[in-house]
Chain A
Amino acid sequence: MNLTDLNIGQKAIILHITNGDVKNKLMEMGCIPGQEIELKLKAPFGDPLAFDVSGYCLSMRKSEASSIEIKLK
């Protein structure tokens, strides 16, 4: 299950991030395995998405969010 599967208001725990271009950047921005994450907003057209993570609001494209594997809290 990955981040794009969340509904607004749903919380999850990050399991890991698949390797790729954005992995480093996402991790630096606080998307760390074990971290809690919640979907806050969807832009019109459902892309990009905005999440509450590590204490602040981070937005990213669906394609970027799909690389983050999660389990529901």
Chain B
Amino acid sequence: MAEKVLKIGLSGNPNCGKSSLFNQLTGLNQRITNIPGTTIERKVGTLKHQGETAKIIDTPGTYSIDPKSTDEQVALEIYADNHELQPDVILYVADASNFKRNLFFFSQLSELNIPIILVLNMTDIAEYKGINIDMDRLSKELGINVVKINARTGKGVNELKELLFKPNFKCHFSFSSSSDIESISDRYNQIEKLVQKTVSQASKNELITDKIDKWVTHRIWGYFIFVAVLLVIFQSVFKLAEWPMDWIEVQFENLANFLGRVMADGWLKQLTIKGVLAGLAGVVVFVPQIVILFIFMTLLEDTGYMARVSFIMDRLLRNVGLNGKSVVPLLSGAACAIPAIMATRNIENAKDRIITILVTPLMSCSARLPVYTLLIAMAIPDETFLGFFNLQGLVLLFMYLLGTVASLVSALVFKWFIKLKQKNYFILELPVYHTPRWKNIWMTCWQKSTSFVLEAGKVIFIVSVLLWYLASHGPNNYKLSNAEPVKIENSYAGKFGKTIEPVIKPLGFDWKIGISLITSFAAREVFVGTMSTIYSVDDEEDFVNIRKKMKAEINPDTGEPKYSLAVVMSLMIFYAFAMQCISTLAVVKKETGTWKWPMIQLAYMSALAYLASLITYNILA
């Protein structure tokens, strides 16, 4: 007996608390699915209640049925006729403290001929603002069920669950009759009539939000606060992550040792330990940093602060051809460009959006960290500068600033080159500040982190296996046994490195670095694993040993240490600018719908990396 699964479409404006409700209703039973052949992702969850099942389809917050951004198009897709996910019931979540505007989209959806339930969220804020809604009257006027909830605490959610499975009604209140410009006014006039009958406004208290905003958007304090927030994030990412990262390294070491003892000698053992395990360790060790970064990003977004950042940064960003709304993707790019690029969906202007997508990967992402960490340790002394600034920390900060400046300058250049004339707006809601909704934050963070690890993991797994094979096999039956640098030269990997050596010699690189550049093309963090394979260190995660071997390497031409300051800076700057992430290119293709943009990205970033590296090496050497 086939169970009829009820399809529930969750819709509402941005900032209405929809995702909190989604989490309340579905708990951990949610998946993000990809519609094959499109760039659309959907969040679908399952709700089981007293023997019945419902599928809840979450959609991005939207202001209107006339979509102006990609986000909005996605939200409305499921309402198309004959769509497989077309809902049986619409669950419309409205922010009660912002009732009139929230009713606009509601009014449009109510005309779709689908049963609809109106959910009033944030009624506590509404009450604070002196707004009182007569639910019974509202329910009568609209002819549908109206429910009050607090999505954050879960109050009212059980009653809502009951209602979902009962028969529901189509709205019989008439909001308008036509669909042209005039009707927006009409619609609001009808909404006004409805509001007059059902909502009473007592005296308003001054909101804490307004008090905070005076500081946050202040000419001087606003920017101070923003920089302070960034500093806190930057420091936390590095300090707080240290302990978990060390712990993860130890676990991988133990696993490697264990497998070393337990597995029979042979190619499988080599492949597993030096290929796969080494490669995976490279990405998993950075998960703590990524998680902390994602937590901060989500926190800033959730509390409403991000909107203010866009507000104070718009005027500045406009000068380089970006939009205030580009702030979120750019900042997220410091964690990982992939979710950052997906976050550009709310930028309505196509040109702004493309430029943001093109330059975001220049922001120093977490994958560059292992590279910077290793190289800085090699050539920058662990000393203090001016008493308490750690020299190594300063150089790291410099690399981050370099990425940021590069992205802004590149945006400016693109502004002049790209010809796309389209509607350009900033119009942005500044929501009331909320204390963080931790459940949501953990959930979002978990989803983003696991998807990052899985995606990166797939790529790295393949690359590690390939690299291991290419480094331990070569023409003429060459086999890697007691590997020494000289022997790697004869493997396939070594041959590739030698082939590109003439091209990279002006940058100060040799064939060994050449091999790493090739493998890093897939994913930057592969660099460390590759270098350790090349220098055949027994313990892959022992940075100290890799460093020792690399430090001891002498340049045959000069008799000086190979990894001098010049080479190290040149290499770091190469990594700062080069496009070395297949996953990013894949996401850009998905988000823009064409190979044109990822190819342009690959071309300009490679050129930038080569030139910058060339200049750096020649200045310092």
Q: Is B492 at the interface (CB under 8 A from chain A)?
A: no
With beta carbons under 8 angstroms apart, the residue of A33, A35, A45 that contacts B315 is: A45
With beta carbons under 8 angstroms apart, the residue of B99, B104, B217, B425 that contacts A43 is: B217
Q: Is B551 at the interface (CB under 8 A from chain A)?
A: no
Q: What are the residues of chain A within 8 A of B431 when measuring CB–CB?
A: 56-57
Tell me whether A44 and B314 are in contact (CB under 8 A).
Answer: no
Q: What are the residues of chain A within 8 A of B217 when measuring CB–CB?
A: 41-44, 50
Q: Is B68 at the interface (CB under 8 A from chain A)?
A: yes
How far, in Å, is B292 (CB) from chain A's closest CB?
A: 29
| A interface: dominant SS | mixed
Tell me whether B66 and A24 are in contact (CB under 8 A).
Answer: yes
Q: Is A54 at the interface (CB under 8 A from chain B)?
A: yes
Bound-complex Cα distance A47 to B314 (A):
8
How many positions in chain B have a CB within 8 Å of any CB in the partner chain? 42
B residues 418-472 with Cβ under 8 Å of A? Answer: 423-432
Q: What are the residues of chain B within 8 A of A24 when measuring CB–CB?
A: 66, 181, 184
| A23-B181, A25-B68, A28-B184 known; A59 vs B426 contact (CB < 8 Å) | yes
Bound-complex Cα distance A30 to B66 (A):
15
Tell me whether A21 and B425 are in contact (CB under 8 A).
Answer: yes
Q: What are the residues of chain A within 8 A of B99 when measuring CB–CB?
A: 55
Q: Is B4 at the interface (CB under 8 A from chain A)?
A: no
| B interface: dominant SS | helix
Contact with B along A11-53 (1 / 0, CB 8 A): 0000000000111111111101101000011111101101000
Tell me whether B312 and A22 are in contact (CB under 8 A).
Answer: no
Tell me whether B427 and A60 are in contact (CB under 8 A).
Answer: yes
Q: Is A64 at the interface (CB under 8 A from chain B)?
A: yes
| A32-B184, A40-B210 known; A50 vs B311 contact (CB < 8 Å) | yes
| A27-B185, A28-B64, A41-B217 known; A59 vs B430 contact (CB < 8 Å) | yes
Q: Is A58 at the interface (CB under 8 A from chain B)?
A: yes
How far, in Å, is B226 (CB) from chain A's closest CB?
A: 11
Tell me whether A50 and B100 are in contact (CB under 8 A).
Answer: no
Q: What are the residues of chain A within 8 A of B66 when measuring CB–CB?
A: 24, 28
Bound-complex Cα distance A25 to B67 (A):
10
With beta carbons under 8 angstroms apart, the residue of B185, B307, B425 that contacts A25 is: B425
Q: Is B26 at the interface (CB under 8 A from chain A)?
A: no
Please, which residue of chain B has its CB at the minimum distance from the CB of A21? Answer: B423
How far, in Å, is A60 (CB) from chain B's closest CB?
A: 5
Tell me whether B311 and A48 are in contact (CB under 8 A).
Answer: yes
Q: What are the residues of chain A within 8 A of B184 when measuring CB–CB?
A: 24, 27-28, 32
Tell me whether A30 and B104 are in contact (CB under 8 A).
Answer: yes
Some 15 contacts from A to B, beta carbons below 8 A apart, are A21-B423, A24-B66, A25-B68, A25-B427, A27-B181, A29-B63, A30-B100, A30-B104, A42-B217, A48-B426, A50-B311, A50-B430, A54-B100, A55-B101, A59-B311
Given A43-B314, A45-B219, A50-B213, 16 more pairs with CB closer than 8 A: A21-B423, A22-B425, A22-B427, A28-B64, A28-B184, A30-B100, A35-B188, A40-B213, A45-B315, A47-B315, A48-B314, A48-B428, A54-B188, A58-B427, A59-B428, A61-B426
Binding site for A on B (CB under 8 A): 63-64, 66, 68, 97-101, 104, 131, 181, 184-185, 188-189, 209-210, 213-214, 217-220, 222-223, 307, 311-312, 314-315, 324, 423-432
Ranked nearest first, the 8 interchain pairs of A and B with the lowest CB-CB distance are A56-B98, A44-B219, A27-B184, A57-B430, A21-B423, A30-B101, A32-B188, A28-B64
